[in-house]
Amino acid sequence: MSGKIVTFFQHLRGNRLTRRFLASLLGLLISVWGLDTLFPISFDHPKQHYAQIIIAADGTPLRAFADSQGIWRYPISLTDVSPLYLQALLNYEDRWFWQHPGVNPFSLSRALWQNLTHKRVISGGSTLTMQVARLIIPQGKGITGKLAQVCRALQLEWHYSKPEILQYYLNHAPFGGTLEGVQAASYVYLGKSARELSVAEAALLAVLPQAPSRNRPDRHPEQAQIARDKVIRRLAREKIWSKAVAEDALIENVFAQRNSQPVVAPLLANRFKSHVKSELPLKTTLDYAMQQSLEELVKNYMKALPTQTSAAVLVVKNHDLSVQAYIGSADFSDNTRFAHIDMVSAIRSPGSTLKPFLYGLALDEGLIHSQSLLSDAPSSYEGYRPHDFDRGFIGPVSVSNALKKSLNVPAIQVLYYLGAEKFVSRLKNAGLTLQFSQGAKANLSVILGGVGTTLETLVGTYSALANQGLAGKVRFFQHSPIQQRYLFSPGAAWIIRTILKHEDTQAHGLAWKTGTSYGYRDFWSIGVSDDFTIGVWIGRPDGTPTPGHYGALTASPLLFEIAQRLAYRYGQSHTPEKQPANVTEQLICWPLGGLLSETPAHLCHEKKKAWLLNNTVPKTLATGDNSVWEQNPATLMINQKTGRLVDSSCHAPVVGYKTVAFWPAVVEPWIPATQHKQQQIGDYDESCSHPPQFQQGVLKIEELDNNAQLRSPGAAKNFPAVPLKTSGAQGSVYWFINGQLLYHVDPTKALKHLFKETGHYQIAVSDEMGKTASIEVDVLAVMQ
């Protein structure tokens, strides 16, 4: 009997037409009998879904979410599975899979004979198709159940192709516990994809579904190894694998290990979980190795910072805006650091990080060049009096240094002339998220962080510095299109990036900018290299201040470490960025701002080497409300004999003229005395009955000497209190201590300032006419 069945099956194997005819005939019979209509079968089972999987660019799972039944099932196609696994599976489980019509009569007969002979179940004789039928619709044991499997297998072969049936098995076979499918089993038991299996690993996974509980390698490694070795030896006997290959595979031990489900880039996965719409994984652009490396780096870096402090990092490739690393919190496992709050997409104050965009737009508008003279001194802009971050004023400063040092007052000066509404509009048009508090509108404070934005859109906008002035929307998925918008010209982008390449930086070739929000709540550091834009945010997600920290101290070291890791992994470009043709380098003069070649020598107090855009040489900007500066340079009438100042009311016998270049009045405390306005004007002539119109009082700080050392008198144990008095003031006066506006008073009002700690202090005062005076003092320790 068995010999006839073998002959019959060999006939089927050799005669493909006969085999297909038989399968068609059996399927037709089932349809005729009505079984196919009464008992339909389909792969689309309502309760069998794949886990939602988000994967890196190389296909490695970042994070998975079990299906509604708690089953971990990772989708995989035939082409993505190791050929070794398919060899082991088909040759051990169902060597005639590609030939039979869903049922193998020989295997069934053999199983029946063995079971009857031994009076117990030795083998089931099920084909892979029959096993798939059982996975779809579980059947009872015994002959009735086996017959049902046969019928269902024939149905499957009628409706589906062989590759479809095999792929269903690969994705749904049981591998122990809540694991189904070879891909999920491979990651959990072996820590790798099913396309990377060795011979021994392929054999293990091929046999595991036979007895998934008994053969689980994490619980029963010895039994799993016995079952695996059986597969290896059979494939060696059948010469599927060579003897040498089999011997090497048998040497490998099976270890009791179980890898946890992946939790890499968890907050990105949480954010985009809803995007997984089909049985296919959601493929991101992330570099798996870099993501893991930076997650560990951030976790360790944050150990030195206060508890409840979190961090966020975003790394984007410049050429295609693809996200390479996404770290939304400091440590996803540490709830004391707000683990589950994604700070990549959170709205936060950007501090000073918008300043490069301001200066770039001002370059395009022709308001400045890289060495334009700006004023870092007490100033008023329509009643708004900004101050610098936790330090005193430094007086005259170039655009380049103002940007490098992140000075607030010069930035307000430039924004005042560019226009806050225009600035905000241009940034929004480029794709930067800007959120104002309810009812607020664009104003000068926006450049100091008086607006909300996100790390995500900030990084996309900074990429303009490496992309010819085109800001981009960062891409999380490989199928997402590249979207870029104009921010400023390529020339402006090149100049700003060149300025931000600090010569003393720890990361050579990296242009970077820091930011600290008001109240020490947000600490930023954004860097741009030839290949990457990197964004770092550190702070407390609940908005609690963290005094003693700021962007350069807290965030920049992490930025530099990330930049170094990127350079180590991807290499570093050694080709200097090409200077645009419309950017030229010229010598200019302060205080007027014109070209050296076009400025008379006596009007050029300082020479500067500047980057010019489109050969535009703008004049020095006025400082806010100081209208006198607009008359610069000034032509003065003098008595030609005495050289002293006169006007039409004087009685000078011979009148002549001289031209002088004035510095902004607010920076006079920081420039040589010979260049002060009063010194350049000189004394008025004796022939005048009253001082000429340019003769104005000089603002002075009285009763305090420059560089004085202050200590309370005698045995007093309090810190000193000093009088704040001026002479020569016009209108109200504004007192600044280390750049902080503390008092706005009438100059005749008696005022004292009590120091609260030792240190070096700058005391500055300005009046309504823009005149400024400044001294520096040292407060010494209290007598003990």
HEC string of 321-378 equals CEEEEEECCCCCCCHHHCCCCCCCCCCECCCCCCHHHHHHHHHHCCCCCCCCEEEECC
Which residues have a catalytic role annotated? 93, 352
Long-range contacts from 334-338, C-beta under 8 angstroms, 24+ separation: 336/307, 336/308, 337/302, 337/307, 337/308, 337/309, 337/310, 338/308, 338/310, 338/540, 338/541, 338/542
Crossing angle (nearest 10°) for helices 408-418 and 355-364: 40
Specify which residues 701 forms β-bridges with. 726
Specify which residues 635 forms β-bridges with. 659
Judging by DSSP bridges, how do beta strands 470-473 and 395-398 pair with one another?
unpaired
All residues at 6 or more sequence positions from 56 whose CB lies less than 8 Å from its CB, including other chains: 62, 264, 284, 286, 287, 288, 291
Q: Could you please report the per-residue DSSP string of 461-485?
A: HHGGGTTTTEEEE-B-BTTSPPEEE
Cα–Cα distance for residue pair 701/282, rounded to 1 Å? 68
Cα–Cα distance for residue pair 563/567, rounded to 1 Å? 6
Judging by DSSP bridges, how do beta strands 282-283 and 310-317 pair with one another?
unpaired
The dihedrals phi and psi of 152, each to the nearest 5 degrees, come to: -65, -35
Is residue 731 helix, strand or coil?
Answer: coil
**CA nearest to 522, candidates 455, 427, 619, 598:** 455
E strand or H helix at 52: strand 52-55
Instruction: Tell me the HSE value of 252 on the side-chain side, using a 13 A CA sphere.
Output: 19
Q: Are 635 and 657 in contact (CB under 8 A)?
A: yes
Helices (H) and strands (E) in the chain, counts: 22, 27
